[in-house]
């Protein structure tokens, strides 16, 4: 099953093609990385999938439904950005519960779901803290739990670890992998970090200048790069 399809997507800013006839199919339950240098169109593709950006031409399907004309709120997506805006005056627990509360879910259901997610992201003991009392890495783990609370069809992550230092980023990769293995939600991770993509994703789409150069498993890309760009961008993996 295909969770997300982008079909013949074009997005121009003036004469500049940010996305040049991009098509991609993202399998159900996969953790797919959109990997490429700065300016290659990764965020634009993610924003088109989410509905934050309207493509000039092309279509987006989520779980088989054509969502091209739908607002982001109607697409069933969870989103985490590099700079996550937590509600500062709410506890960790209330931040994660927020989306469920506005959907008026039963209290017992909210409580069970929040407990489960905070456990998975290693924040079970931090429920009553406020975001300012968390480290940067803990805050992004809270953001992941919050995005997943409402059981989105797909989870979209745009450089979620980008602002953090190397050790914390590595740690977060492990958390993301664990979370994905537990919750099985189809996840798309935007990153410019080859090592991060190779380490965490089961499929990687390599972008360059608004085009997809190759899509495959980390191993396929490493062993059979489609062209010089992919080879040089992936570089020698240590
Ligand atoms: P990436 O996430 O891979 O770094 P982006 O998708 O953000 O790249 O951007 C791709 C290209 O499109 C960049 O050259 C960027 O400057 C350009 N771009 C993105 N958004 C806009 C915009 N709103 N207006 C003009 N140019 C944009
Ligand atoms: Mg970007």
Query: pLDDT per position in the chain (238 positions), as tens?
Result: 899 999 999 999 999 999 999 999 999 999 999 999 999 999 999 999 999 999 999 999 999 999 999 999 999 999 988 776 789 999 999 999 999 999 999 999 999 999 999 999 999 999 999 999 999 999 999 999 999 999 999 999 999 988 788 999 999 999 999 999 999 999 999 999 999 999 999 999 999 999 999 999 999 999 999 999 999 999 765 4
Query: SS3 of 52, please?
Result: coil
What pLDDT, on the 0 to 100 scale, is given for residue 236?
A: 65
Q: Which residues lie with the beta carbon below 6 Å from any ligand 1 atom?
A: 13, 18, 36, 38-44
Ligand 2: distance of its center to the CA of 174 in Å?
22
CA nearest ligand 1 atom 24, residue:
13
* Residue 7 Cα distances to 20, 24, 40, angstroms: 11, 7, 18
Q: Name the pairing type of β-strands 31-35 and 77-80.
A: unpaired
What pLDDT, on the 0 to 100 scale, is given for residue 17?
A: 97
Structure tokens at 73: 């709120």
Ligand 2: distance of its center to the CA of 44 in Å?
7
CA nearest ligand 1 atom 22, residue:
13
Atom of ligand 1 nearest to the CA of 40: 3
Against a cut of 0.90, is the pTM above it?
A: yes
* Residue 108 Cα distances to 97, 112, 120, 165, angstroms: 11, 6, 19, 38
ipTM: 0.98
Atom of ligand 1 nearest to the CA of 159: 2
CB contact at 8 A, 51 and 75: yes
CA nearest ligand 1 atom 21, residue:
13
CA nearest ligand 1 atom 20, residue:
44
Ligand 1: distance of its center to the CA of 42 in Å?
8
Dihedral angle computed from the Cα positions of residues 116, 118, 122 and 124, in that order, rounded to the nearest 10 degrees: -90
What pLDDT, on the 0 to 100 scale, is given for residue 164?
A: 86
What pLDDT, on the 0 to 100 scale, is given for residue 70?
A: 97
Q: Which ligand is nearest to the CA of 35?
A: 1
Atom of ligand 1 nearest to the CA of 190: 2
Q: For helices 92-102 and 136-149, give the axis angle rounded to 10 degrees.
A: 20
201-224 residues labelled b (16+ CB within 10 A) or e (exposed): bebbbbbbebbbbbbbebeebbee
Ligand 1: distance of its center to the CA of 17 in Å?
9
């Amino acid at each position: 099953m295909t969770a997300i399809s982008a079909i013949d997507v074009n997005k121009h800013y003036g004469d500049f093609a940010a996305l040049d006839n991009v098509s991609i199919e993202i399998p159900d339950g996969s953790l797919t990385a959109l990997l490429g240098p700065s300016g290659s169109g990764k965020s634009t593709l993610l924003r088109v999938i989410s509905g934050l950006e309207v493509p000039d031409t092309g279509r987006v399907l989520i779980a088989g439904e054509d969502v091209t004309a739908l607002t982001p709120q109607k697409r069933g997506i969870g989103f985490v950005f590099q700079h996550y805006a937590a509600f500062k005056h709410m506890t960790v627990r209330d931040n994660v519960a927020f989306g469920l509360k506005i959907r008026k879910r039963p209290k017992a259901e909210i409580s069970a779901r929040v407990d489960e997610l905070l456990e998975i992201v290693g924040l079970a003991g931090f429920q009553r803290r406020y975001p300012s009392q968390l480290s940067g890495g803990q805050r992004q783990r809270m953001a992941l739990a919050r995005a997943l609370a409402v059981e989105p069809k797909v989870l979209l992550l745009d450089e979620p670890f980008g602002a953090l230092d190397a050790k914390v980023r590595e740690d977060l990769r492990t958390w993301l992998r664990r979370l994905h293995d537990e919750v099985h939600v189809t996840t798309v991770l935007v990153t410019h970090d080859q090592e991060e993509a190779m380490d965490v994703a089961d499929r990687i789409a390599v972008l360059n200048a608004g085009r997809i150069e190759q899509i495959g498993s980390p191993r396929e890309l490493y062993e059979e790069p489609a062209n010089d760009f992919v080879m040089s961008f992936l570089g020698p993996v240590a």
